[in-house]
Amino acid sequence: MKKIVFMTGTRADFGKLKNLILKVQDNPSFQCHTFVTGMHLLGTYGHTYTEVERAGIKNLYKFINQQRGTEADIILSNTILGFSNYIQEIKPDLIIVHGDRVEALACAIVGSFNSILVGHIEGGEVSGTLDELTRHAISKLAHIHFVSNELAKKRLLQMGEREESVFTIGSPDIDVMLNGSLPEISEVKKHYDIGFDSYYVLLYHPVTSEYNQTRENVKKVVAGCLSSGFNFVVIYPNNDKGSEIILDEYEAFRGNSNFRVLPSMRFESFLSLLKHSKGIVGNSSAGIREACVFGVPALNIGSRQDNRSKCESILHVNEDETEICKNLVMLQNISVPCSFEFGDGTSTAKFIKIIEDDEVWETPQQKQFVDLLYGREPI
């Protein structure tokens, strides 16, 4: 029986990993464990570890790696220490991490340094800022790659990864989006006290490489939304450096009946909210990936998601009050078909099939750079 440890550090990555975790823990070939850390343990974001518990996840371990405002390098070192101690007891055969968060980097470092196979979900993508550097660093530490599309696979091959270790499965959250199990929007609105018939979703994260511009940029985003006169469901940013500035500027929404501000949402509820919205505004990957699946238009603001998608339903603008307000009006008239650039809803089945194959467990722990200049043979 192979031991697999999943790491989740945010509300977003758990939404993508949940189905995979549940399928693995129900499979008699595997013993499944989940390491819960990061934003999940922060009260500011609603202690979202409770969502992990309520999902029926077994063998769950919670580790506090930060307080509100802890710098990313300290989060990295804390997580390395905590996860290193954890795996000494669990002794997993495979560690699964997702995306580009600092906790995923920490766990990939620990796995690689302890000669444990590391599987990386959604590597090979571009997004700009520090996130992209972190994602690529995780890919170089990982041994097995579960990517969302063929373009991501090609990028990993450019980075010297073995073609035999790169599997295109799509983005696992699309399984959730298309399986018909999302809550009714009426239930979501009632639970979160959202009284709008028509609304936009605003989700704007810090851009760590533009930290000194954060206050100026978010002021323009806030002003553009206020000037539009539209309704917005606003969800707190992630906890990257600059999030406190964004939350401070969101105080401008207080008392305004056009705005409902929420610290967090259950992933499935968020998807239902997004599906029935007029559009999503900000710089979240949800505007690039999930919105397109529903055919929901997105107003992508700033540089955080640079070059990630060319989907026709995405309008790109800078942090500028006038441009934001003008494009919010334009967004209402955009109608495009659903796009499946990042998967078709079969990721979980593909993932399970791969890890059930004995061959994947023979993946070399000692990685070698595969050079394109030499016919993909190590030199």
Region 14-41: mean pLDDT is: 97
Give 2-173+345-374's CATH code, choosing from 3.40.640.10, 3.30.565.10, 3.40.50.2000, 1.10.300.10. 3.40.50.2000
Percent of the chain whose pLDDT exceeds 90: 86
Please say if the pLDDT value at position 378 is more than 60: no
Please say if the pLDDT value at position 113 is more than 90: yes
Q: For residue 376, what pLDDT is reported?
A: 59
Per-residue model confidence as pLDDT tens digits over 221-251:
999 999 999 999 999 999 999 999 999 999 9
Angle ∠(259,43,291) on CA atoms, nearest 5: 45
Per-residue model confidence as pLDDT tens digits over 79-94:
999 999 999 999 999 9
Please say if the pLDDT value at position 208 is more than 70: yes
pLDDT grade for 133, boundaries at 50, 70 and 90: very high
- The residue with tokens 């305004």 is 256
Q: For residue 379, what pLDDT is reported?
A: 52
3-state secondary structure of 220: helix
Q: For residue 355, what pLDDT is reported?
A: 98
Instruction: Locate all alpha helices (DSSP H) within the chain, ordered by sequence.
Output: 11-25, 49-54, 72-90, 102-113, 129-141, 150-158, 173-178, 185-191, 214-228, 243-249, 267-275, 290-294, 321-331, 347-356
Q: For residue 377, what pLDDT is reported?
A: 59
Q: Render 115-159 in DSSP notation, one character per residue.
A: T-EEEEES-S----HHHHHHHHHHHHH-SEEEESSHHHHHHHHHT
The hierarchical CATH code for the domain 185-331 is 3.40.50.2000
Please say if the pLDDT value at position 305 is more than 90: no
Q: What is the mean pLDDT of the chain?
A: 94
Q: For residue 335, what pLDDT is reported?
A: 80
Region 191-204: mean pLDDT is: 97
Which phi and psi angles does 94 have, rounded to 5°?
Answer: -150, 135
Q: Which residues, 6 or more positions from 359, have their beta carbon under 8 angstroms from its beta carbon?
A: none
Domain ranges of the chain: 2-173+345-374, 185-331
Per-residue model confidence as pLDDT tens digits over 313-327:
899 999 999 999 999
Per-residue model confidence as pLDDT tens digits over 346-361:
999 999 999 999 999 9
CA atoms within a 13 Å half-sphere pointing along the CA-CB vector of 80: 15
Please say if the pLDDT value at position 78 is more than 80: yes
- The residue with tokens 């035999």 is 164
Please say if the pLDDT value at position 371 is more than 70: yes
Q: Render 310-342 in DSSP notation, one character per residue.
A: --TTEEEE-S-HHHHHHHHHHHTT-------TT
Per-residue model confidence as pLDDT tens digits over 97-110:
999 999 999 999 99
Region 120-147: mean pLDDT is: 94
Q: Which residues, 6 or more positions from 77, have their beta carbon under 8 angstroms from its beta carbon?
A: 106
pLDDT grade for 127, boundaries at 50, 70 and 90: confident
2-173+345-374 matches 185-331 in fold: yes
- The residue with tokens 């509300």 is 11
Q: For residue 337, what pLDDT is reported?
A: 83
